Structure 1
Amino acid sequence: MAPTLGAPPTGRHRISGRPRSARWDTFAVVTTDSNATAPRPATDVDRIADDFFAKLVELSPITATYLGIPGHEEDLDDFSPAGHDAQSQLRRDTLEQLDRATPTDDIDRVTIAAMRERLGLAEEVHAAGLDEMSLNVIASPLQEIRGTFDLMATATDEDWGVIARRLAKVPTALEQWKESLLAAAERGDVAPRRQVEACIKQCEDLTADDGYFATLVEDARLSDGNDPGELSEASRAALAEAAGQASEAYAALGAWLRENLLDRAPEADACGRERYQLWSRDFLGAEVDLEETYRWGMQEVDRITAEMEQVAEQIKPGATVKEAIAALNDDPAYQLHGTDELKAWMQERADEVITNLGKDDFDIPAPVRTIECLIAPTQTGGIYYTGPSEDFSRPGRMWWSVPKGVTEFGTWKELTTVYHEGVPGHHLQVAQTVFRSELLNKWRRMAAWTSGHGEGWALYAERLMEELGYMDDPGNRMGLLDSQSLRAARVVIDIGVHCGFEAPEEVGGGEWTYDKAWTYLNAHANQGEEWLRFELDRYLGWPGQAPSYKIGERLWMQLRDQVREQQGDAFSLKDFHRRALDIGGVGLDTLRAAVLGELADA
């Protein structure tokens, strides 16, 4: 998911998360046909997982909205210490039940392993107080509360009434979050000053005369059908009043952060090795050697840079990488004009890949063959994906958040991102899992999400499109490499800064500083200063998340190589994709053990 203030939460809620042949063959038989409808009988393990899922959405209405679960649209999460404790109690109760459960097949074994890993890590995060101190530029309650409104229905006056009633609860939710921030601050746990300052600025932007809450009211329309209608006078008045309350609450939040947290916030951006190791495990669902991964990240940056220089020569002989990119930006062959062209191009690319890859490379069930490409209601930049509802009445969607005033778009740099967010990236990954109602319990289908699994798969999907010949055009290949360069550079910056490793020689070696991190990022990414400054703030405030993309891709590629070696001439790319995706968004260690048939009885 590209960084954007308007993006919805992606599994960030802390609540979430030997003989080979006989066990794996049982699983493989069940999953042979992706359009099969014969249901697998629910087990005790499934009932534990489904009960956890039901209680999860009760405690987290924001998660319910993100997952398309009806019945919670008017409420918001409790971000207070009591709310975090309630989530913790649910996790602990569920883990105790899993300890007493007996698995009946490999599907149960995966569920137990995945829930123990996800919920257990969430408990470690809670015990460390990291949930209460959560504040950063992209993935804290400030953004989650606001972002939930993007996914709400707007077809009728009643839909807008639901939005108004939820908006009216924003002040309470923000007050609850303040309780947690203050409790954490009393323990000495405060987000870095850079993050506090940026969040204060976000509050100002959201509440400006042309900010989110003002434009929400101004732009409100009934979205039923192709001809948007007007809200009733009463509905618009109720919306305006509630949006005003929410706007005032965000303005007050900004002032509160300035008065209560800013002077307590540490100047240092680094979270430290111990906390970073925890965050890395949380985002990957795997434990990696951080020193080795740091060295690998620098090697990847060097490799990709060399490839970009070769492609630059193809684009414009004698040109540097930046000169070649400038030439691509000026080339009419890669230009789209206006958001209508952008939206149509996104849809065409997604539909094309579904048609083509659905033949030999993936089993794509009928409901998953629909993806909806939309221009997001926010204007913050970036592209993101939201999954379908359980019954697919709301399809999977790829959103483009277009900044104000931007009307020109370059397909050379965005094609790889469309593959990442849509098909064969997040859409095939997420929607395929949601579809598996005959195979997987609700938690596995709807709520099991690990960043390294999800974002690693999406980067794997970009690589797959290169392998299949979709990125042979030099411009499109430069876009892929440019994206890969960014992902590799942030492995280096994120691990290096937070763990205190020595900086690369190209920025002077020694201790990492903000200026060194900026110099390194700017040298290996070409997305523009404003966007990259936000990116760097994201790495500094959300430790371990950004590297999970590239590290996750590495682990996915290694897994495919292991399966290919294990199966020899019998290896089928289509079978590998089906088996891996049918497991769902579990941690990468659990995924590897499940695919290779190495899960033992619980």
Structure 2
Amino acid sequence: MTLEPNRLTRPASAIDAAANAYTERLLELDPGFATELGRPGHETEYRDLSPAGLAASADAALHALSELAGLEPMDDVDALTLHAMRERLGLALELHKSGWPLAELNNIASPAQEIRAIFDLMPTATVPHWEHISGRLANVPDAVAGYISSLREGAARGMVAAQRQVATVIEQCERHAAADGFFATLAADAALDPPGLSPDAGDAGTSLPAGLTAALAANVELARAGYGSLVEFLRTELLPQAPAKDAVGAARYALASREFLGSAVDLEETYAWGVAELDRIIAEQEAVAAQIEPGASIAEAKALLNADPARQLHGTAALTEWMQSLSNAAVADLAGTHFEIPEIMRTLECKIAPTQDGGIYYTGPSEDFSRPGRMWWSVPEGEDTFTTWAETTTVYHEGVPGHHLQVATATYQSGLLNNWRRNACWVSGHGEGWALYAERLMDDLGYLADPGDKLGMLDGQRMRAARVVFDIGVHLELQIPAQWGSGTWTPEAGYHFLAKNLDISAGQLDFEFNRYLGWPGQAPSYKIGQRLWEDIRDARAARDGAAFSLRDFHTQALNLGSVGLDTLKTALLG
């Protein structure tokens, strides 16, 4: 291997070729995935969301595994690729066989959101860019129809999301389809980016050609009608079949947990750990609250911080400016000291999301970095005051050293990792676990020395620990810990528990509550992933002794790309 400005290279192998071929097949099957990567071609299309489309994806995984079966690794990189692909693709086939992908519907990460969300990543600098947007709008009805056919097939097999999820998605889709909803606003606000914002700035202007404006308006109506048909199906056909019960049970939960972790954990042991971890974090918060004001409770310390004008932001413009400034400072400070951050990775855009669903998320750069990594903040309607002490750690989580450093590093290492390792493999427990690990790391490195900022970090950690307790407890219907109540967990008891441990707005709390109920196993993967990341780091430090270098550990770990946590342990500990 050779190193050129932090970029590793190695000869491509037969295993790389098989992994790349599988990735190309995924790109053929999912044009939205190509849009995420900034790949040209098929910009107006959607993946086939029908049962036939889901079967084609399963067939691609089966074919890739058969191709890999006859290949021998030429180096450690190959060996890790084999380990990761066998785990990921094998699990994908298990999930397909279970039938549950047919019933995929929740308030955050299902085709109901996917069909709309792809527009957030489509460039808007040139006339051809807007032609692509217009063409994809025209294809929304077919995408919706395919999705409806899968939901209908799932229902025929007795697999339907809970009533709560169906009702929530109906509300979301109604907003998108409304006369003043997402699609209508997209057309009303359509314009070329101002000069200087894109490589194609020479084509930029302020308005679209009249013919394109007319086509865009017509296709917006098709997209609105497509979402309207989804609302009608959900309300009249699926909702009457939806179960009232939110809990998914141990068997389905165990499968979902493996999907998000890349590791099979003992769920009841993990639940007990989550309870203890929550208690520990609350004790740490109490100690920090006393630093802010001697004798103050956690709530009293937060009230003092919230009342501090120096810690307040008013309006989304101020929020965006603050996010960008803090992110830029973190990149500049950490580059070359605690992390390897090549120049091309140092641009991170902080933006307000075009939706009001709540939540903060990151989208990675295009393969050539012409579209940089982006941090998105979805602000619920009516919220316009934000506190910096509560959100400093969020910027580190989504940006550097969190998701941006992780995702952009994998994108950058094109000479080391095959396309599947860089672009197609994403494991929540690895990725979100790293982001939580990054939050704690920033505290260890002294970037959260201000007690208010540290209390904010601990608040985030407390939320993630509470999610372990809630998610496993409610879905497996376990006993409520004595310090939090009595009896068996129900969603209603869980909501009150979350309200005590998640210091967020009412709108955000409702969103998160519904998210956990509808996306089992995902929310706990953050904290469980952090636990496993820290366990691996500590085991590596114990093994290497005086030779251990935290910076080298991070460099090696990030250069692996996103893999399951069992694969990560194999790579870093042998």
TM-score by length of structure 1 reads 0.92
| Corresponding position of 2:69 | 99
What's the offset of the Cα at 1:74? Answer: 0.7
| Corresponding position of 2:108 | 138
CA–CA separation in structure 2 for the residues paired with 1:88 and 1:195: 26
| Corresponding position of 2:444 | 467
| Corresponding position of 1:492 | 469
CA–CA separation in structure 1 for the residues paired with 2:566 and 2:40: 33
Q: Which residue of 348, 359, 364 corresponds with 2:325?
A: 348
Q: Which residue of 505, 515, 535 corresponds with 1:538?
A: 515
Alignment of 1:381-396 (within 5 A): 381-396=358-373
What's the offset of the Cα at 1:376? Answer: 2.2
Q: Taking structure 1 as reference, are residues 84 and 141 closer, same or farther at Cα in structure 2, changes over 3 Å only?
A: same
What's the offset of the Cα at 1:231? Answer: 1.9
Report if the CA contact (8 A) 2:37-2:366 is conserved: yes
Amino acid at match of 2:350: C
| Corresponding position of 1:127 | 97
CA–CA separation in structure 2 for the residues paired with 1:310 and 1:385: 32
Q: Taking structure 1 as reference, are residues 522 and 583 closer, same or farther at Cα in structure 2, changes over 3 Å only?
A: same
Alignment of 1:282-293 (within 5 A): 282-293=259-270
- Alignment partner of 1:583: what SS? coil
The yes-or-no answer on 1:406 pairing with 2:376 is no
Q: Which residue of 185, 190, 200 corresponds with 2:160?
A: 190
Q: Relative to structure 2, which stretch is displaced further, 452-461 or 395-404?
A: 395-404
| Corresponding position of 1:10 | none
What's the offset of the Cα at 1:34? Answer: 6.8
CA–CA separation in structure 1 for the residues paired with 2:402 and 2:273: 24
CA–CA separation in structure 1 for the residues paired with 2:565 and 2:416: 20
Q: Relative to structure 2, which stretch is displaced further, 178-187 or 506-515?
A: 506-515
Amino acid at match of 1:307: E
Alignment of 1:209-228 (within 5 A): 209-225=179-195
The yes-or-no answer on 1:435 pairing with 2:405 is no
- Alignment partner of 2:100: what SS? coil
Amino acid at match of 1:524: N
- Alignment partner of 1:266: what SS? coil
Q: Which residue of 207, 232, 239 corresponds with 1:255?
A: 232
| Corresponding position of 2:206 | 229
Q: Which residue of 151, 156, 170 corresponds with 2:121?
A: 151
Q: Which residue of 478, 494, 503 corresponds with 2:455?
A: 478
Amino acid at match of 1:320: S
CA–CA separation in structure 1 for the residues paired with 2:476 and 2:424: 30
CA–CA separation in structure 2 for the residues paired with 1:83 and 1:408: 44
Q: Relative to structure 2, which stretch is displaced further, 519-528 or 327-336?
A: 327-336
Amino acid at match of 2:78: D
TM-score by length of structure 2 reads 0.96
Q: Taking structure 1 as reference, are residues 323 and 234 closer, same or farther at Cα in structure 2, changes over 3 Å only?
A: farther
Q: Taking structure 1 as reference, are residues 38 and 275 closer, same or farther at Cα in structure 2, changes over 3 Å only?
A: closer
Q: Which residue of 577, 580, 588 corresponds with 2:557?
A: 580
Structure 1 vs Structure 2: percent identity of aligned residues? Answer: 54
Alignment of 1:302-313 (within 5 A): 302-313=279-290
Q: Taking structure 1 as reference, are residues 535 and 37 closer, same or farther at Cα in structure 2, changes over 3 Å only?
A: closer
What runs of 5+ residues in structure 1 fail to find an aligned partner?
1-29
| Corresponding position of 1:8 | none
What's the offset of the Cα at 1:211? Answer: 1.6
| Corresponding position of 2:144 | 174
CA–CA separation in structure 1 for the residues paired with 2:30 and 2:181: 26
| Corresponding position of 2:500 | 523
CA–CA separation in structure 2 for the residues paired with 1:516 and 1:34: 55
CA–CA separation in structure 2 for the residues paired with 1:519 and 1:404: 23
| Corresponding position of 2:52 | 82
| Corresponding position of 2:395 | 418
**Per-residue displacement from partner, 1:239-279 (whole Å, max 9, x unpaired)?**
11111111111122111111111111111101110111110
CA–CA separation in structure 2 for the residues paired with 1:378 and 1:51: 35
What runs of 5+ residues in structure 2 fail to find an aligned partner?
197-203
- Alignment partner of 1:250: what SS? helix
**Per-residue displacement from partner, 1:521-544 (whole Å, max 9, x unpaired)?**
111111022211110111111000
Amino acid at match of 1:69: R
Amino acid at match of 1:82: A
**Per-residue displacement from partner, 1:54-89 (whole Å, max 9, x unpaired)?**
110110111111222221211001010000010011
Q: Relative to structure 2, which stretch is displaced further, 585-594 or 345-354?
A: 345-354
| Corresponding position of 2:37 | 67
Report if the CA contact (8 A) 2:358-2:507 is conserved: no
CA–CA separation in structure 2 for the residues paired with 1:504 and 1:244: 51
| Structure 1 moving runs of 4+ over 6 Å | none
Report if the CA contact (8 A) 2:477-2:490 is conserved: no
Equivalenced residue count is: 567
| Corresponding position of 1:18 | none
| Corresponding position of 1:554 | 531
Report if the CA contact (8 A) 1:34-1:364 is conserved: no
Q: Relative to structure 2, which stretch is displaced further, 397-406 or 483-492?
A: 397-406
CA–CA separation in structure 2 for the residues paired with 1:114 and 1:493: 29
CA–CA separation in structure 1 for the residues paired with 2:228 and 2:307: 41
- Alignment partner of 2:390: what SS? helix
CA–CA separation in structure 2 for the residues paired with 1:186 and 1:389: 40
Report if the CA contact (8 A) 1:156-1:224 is conserved: no
CA–CA separation in structure 2 for the residues paired with 1:280 and 1:546: 10
CA–CA separation in structure 1 for the residues paired with 2:159 and 2:302: 43
| Corresponding position of 1:324 | 301
Q: Taking structure 1 as reference, are residues 310 and 97 closer, same or farther at Cα in structure 2, changes over 3 Å only?
A: same
| Corresponding position of 1:334 | 311
The yes-or-no answer on 1:116 pairing with 2:93 is no
Q: Which residue of 201, 204, 211 corresponds with 2:174?
A: 204
**Per-residue displacement from partner, 1:110-164 (whole Å, max 9, x unpaired)?**
1111111111111111000011110111111000111000000111222111101
CA–CA separation in structure 1 for the residues paired with 2:194 and 2:27: 27
Higher relative contact order (CA 8 A, sep 6+): 1
Q: Relative to structure 2, which stretch is displaced further, 456-465 or 257-266?
A: 257-266
Q: Taking structure 1 as reference, are residues 210 and 315 closer, same or farther at Cα in structure 2, changes over 3 Å only?
A: farther
**Per-residue displacement from partner, 1:178-210 (whole Å, max 9, x unpaired)?**
111111111111111111111111111212233
Report if the CA contact (8 A) 1:452-1:551 is conserved: yes
| Corresponding position of 1:3 | none
Report if the CA contact (8 A) 1:284-1:588 is conserved: yes
Report if the CA contact (8 A) 2:339-2:551 is conserved: yes
CA–CA separation in structure 2 for the residues paired with 1:97 and 1:506: 53
Q: Which residue of 592, 596, 602 corresponds with 2:569?
A: 592
| Corresponding position of 1:24 | none
CA–CA separation in structure 2 for the residues paired with 1:556 and 1:143: 30
- Alignment partner of 2:102: what SS? coil
The yes-or-no answer on 1:377 pairing with 2:347 is no
